Amino acid sequence: MAPIRGLTLLGAPSNIGIRPYDDGRLRALDRAPALLRTRGLMARIGAKDLGDVHPPAYEDFVRPPRYVRNETPLVQYSGALAERIANAGAHGDFVVLIGGDCSIVVGATMGASRLVGDRAVGLAYVDAHADFATEEESYTGSAASMCLAMVAGHGNTALARMAGASPLVRPTDIALVGRRDEGEPYGHAALRPLGVHDVPYADVRSQGIERTVAEVTAILTKADLAGFWIHVDADVLDESIMPAVDSPTPDGPGLDDLVALVAPLVRHPRALGMQLTIYDPGLDPDGACAELLVTFLEQTLAGGPTS
């Protein structure tokens, strides 16, 4: 068996990429990394803790029309995340990034590319939503509803131009798995025209997890890619077991199926790191969802990825 790589963990306690609660309070996603640590996360996955990358303050409580909430702070934060991720994985460790809202994927993919000398990387995006709206299409103005589009260079925001004229990840090097957002066509209509490999969860269920993993792995390990990053949004889990997210969604996988889907990707030698996002402690009064997510990470990362 191949030797085990070390695990290095960073927290990204950010809520600046998501809209506030309906009553105007900021969502509690900034508490997620610390709370998961209190559940024994570090010992259970055997990771080295490099602390948190703290975001700037929340600015846009009212969404500017056709703009992204907190875009200037998000550009700054994405750059800081990229630097910390590149440093965290510089000696070959697999980076585990705990959010926070899912807009951290912008900085994460920047950092992943730096880990391999600024070469092209792929992205597995495991999520109940495509997050592919543009600034004109998003009704919330939250980067969380647009962040995959930003990574793919789709739209006209500063966050979609973090790598200049080129996207952070080419659309054809993205595998989106698990979405169940057919009622929100504005959020996914551009996926296939741009070449994103889109596998809704209905297709995962019909073709099976093993075939899905094989398809996704083929996308992420093409010869011209130097590695890949893995995004897992907590809302990909069925709403019956994961209500502590801003948009719980039915007809999703349970814990065992999600582990079966993600663990082979994590253990692939070209995997650079993964992130877990959108868990909201403010919607988890008894901590059941926190425990489920730590169990997911423990089972997915058990023994660490192989090199």
Average pLDDT value for residue range 264-278: 97
CA distance 265 to 94: 12
Task: Map residue 54 onto helix, strand or coil.
Answer: coil
In a domain, 281, yes or no: yes
Among 213, 211, 76, residue whose Cα is nearest residue 143: 76
In the chain, the percentage of residues whose pLDDT exceeds 90 is 90
- Confirm if 277 and 128 have CB atoms less than 8 A apart: no
* Signed CA dihedral, 36, 42, 46, 48: sign only: positive
Q: What is the pLDDT of residue 3?
A: 39
Segment 206-249, tens digit of pLDDT: 999 999 999 999 999 999 999 999 999 999 999 999 999 999 99
With bands split at pLDDT 50, 70 and 90, how would you rate the model's confidence at 75?
very high
Neighbouring C-beta atoms of residue 57, cutoff 10 Å = 7
Q: 86 pLDDT exceeds 70?
A: yes
Q: How many domains are contained in the chain?
A: 1
In a domain, 52, yes or no: yes
In a domain, 306, yes or no: no
End-to-end Cα, the chain, rounded Å: 10
In a domain, 14, yes or no: yes
Neighbouring C-beta atoms of residue 303, cutoff 10 Å = 11
* Signed CA dihedral, 86, 92, 96, 102: sign only: positive
In a domain, 2, yes or no: no
In a domain, 307, yes or no: no
Segment 165-193, tens digit of pLDDT: 899 999 999 999 999 998 887 778 899 99
What mean pLDDT is reported for the chain? 95
In a domain, 305, yes or no: no
Segment 34-52, tens digit of pLDDT: 999 999 999 999 999 999 9
* Signed CA dihedral, 112, 113, 119, 123: sign only: positive
Q: What is the pLDDT of residue 188?
A: 81
Instruction: Give me the CATH number covering residue 219.
Output: 3.40.800.10
Segment 111-148, tens digit of pLDDT: 999 999 999 999 999 999 999 999 989 989 999 999 99
Domain that holds residue 113: 8-300
In a domain, 3, yes or no: no
